[in-house]
Structure 1
C-alpha cells in the first residue's frame, strides 16, 4: 500500500509572486509617490495612497493581466522544488477575488514553477475547502476554517498580526516544514 506525502498548499500573491513590489512601482510611476524603504516594508500600500489611487489599482487587478507580470518571491522556486521531495505541493490562490486573473496566473505558474503539475493548481475562493496538512498564506483569514496548520508568510500588510506560526522568507518556511 502506497502512503501519501503530506500536502502543503501555497498561496500565490505575496507568497510566491511579489505583488507588493509591482504595486509599489506602479503607484510611484503612475502617481509620483515617494516612500522610504521602511515605509514600504512596514505598511500596507492601501494605507499609503489616496483612496482614488487604491481604486485605480483595484480596477487594474480586476482586468487580470497584471497577475502575469509579478516577479518571483526570492527563494520560492528553490524552496518549493526542495519541498516536493517530502510533500505534495499545491498552489492555492483565491483567484475568485479577481476572476479575470486565472489565465494570467496559470501562465505565470507554468513559466516560473513548471515542476508544479497543472492538476496541483487550485483557483478558489474560501480556502477552508482545501484538504492539506499545511497552508502557507499571507492572510490569516484563510486559516480561520482551514483544517490543517496555517503558516503566515510575512508581508508588509500583516506585520502587526499575531500568529503562532510565521515565516519571514522561504528559507524559514523550508526549515519549519522539514525540521
Structure 2
C-alpha cells in the first residue's frame, strides 16, 4: 500500500488567512499575500521576526485556521486506497501540539490519531510521497517530495508542484505516480 505523508500548515490548514490579518492588526502594517511572493513573513519583515514567531507560538494560534479547499474530500478519498499520514513540524512551535491535534480531529476525523505525526525533521518519515509547502523537508526524505504551492515557495524549482487539492486528486487518480 502506498504511504502518503501530508503536511498541515499551508497544505491543509490555511495559515496565511489568519496570519496576515493578525500581523497587520498587531503591527499596523498592510501586508498582502502578493507581498510574500518568494518570501516567508519572517524574511519580509526581519525587524519584527521575534514578535511574529511569538505570536505564531501562542497556545491557540493554530486552533481556528481555515481548511484549504477540497483537502478534506481528497484526503478522505486517498485514505480509501492509500495509507495517509498527517505530518507537521510542530517542534518549531511546541505549544501548538494541542491546538493542532484538536484542529485535525475536528476537520479530519477520518484520520486516525495513530496517523498523525508531530516531528521536527521530516527525514524520519517512511513514506512514498510527502506533500509539503516547504521544500527543505524533501532534502533527506527518501520518497518523492510533492511541493504544494504557497506564496513563499513560488521561486522554488526541482520538484513536482501542485497548486490545489484538485490537482492532487487527479495526480493520484491517474496512477501516474503509482506506476
Unmatched 5+ stretches in structure 2? 175-179
In structure 1, runs of 5+ residues without a counterpart are: none
Equivalent-residue separation in structure 2 for 1:98 and 1:31 (angstroms): 21
Distance 1:50 1:124, change over 3 A: closer
Q: In the alignment, is residue 21 of structure 1 matched against residue 34 of structure 2?
A: no
Identify the residue that residue 8 of structure 2 maps to in structure 1.
12
Aligned to 1:87: 82
Cα separation, 1, equivalents of 2:83 and 2:150: 24
Q: CA deviation at 1:61?
A: 2.1
2:30 maps to which residue? 34
1:121 aligns with 2:120: no
Shift of 1:176: 1.6
User: C-alpha separation between the residues in 2 aligned to 1:13 and 1:136?
Assistant: 11
TM-score, length basis structure 2: 0.90
1: CA distance, partners of 2:46 / 2:120: 28
CA drift at 1:33: 1.9
Contact persistence 1:152–1:163 (CA under 8 A) = no
Pairs aligned (count): 174
Instruction: From 150, 169, 177, give the equivalent of 1:174.
Output: 169
Q: How far did residue 134 of structure 1 move?
A: 0.5
Q: Deviations over 1:70-107 (max 9, x none)?
A: 11111111110111121111001111111111111000
Question: Aligned in 2, Cα 1:50/1:32: closer, same or farther, shift over 3 Å?
Answer: farther
Task: Give secondary structure in 2 for the equivalent of 1:102.
Answer: helix
Q: How far off is 1:43 after superposition?
A: 4.5
Alignment partner for residue 132 of structure 2, among 122, 131, 137? 137
Q: Among residues 161, 164, 168, which one is paired with 2:159 in the alignment?
A: 164
Please tell me whether the aligned partners of residues 62 and 98 of structure 1 are also in contact (alpha carbons under 8 angstroms): yes
What is the alpha-carbon distance in structure 1 between the residues aligned to residue 98 and residue 74 of structure 2? 24
Q: 1:36 to 1:63 in 2, by over 3 A?
A: closer
Secondary structure (helix, strand or coil) at the match of 1:115 reads coil
Q: Secondary structure at the match of 2:147?
A: strand
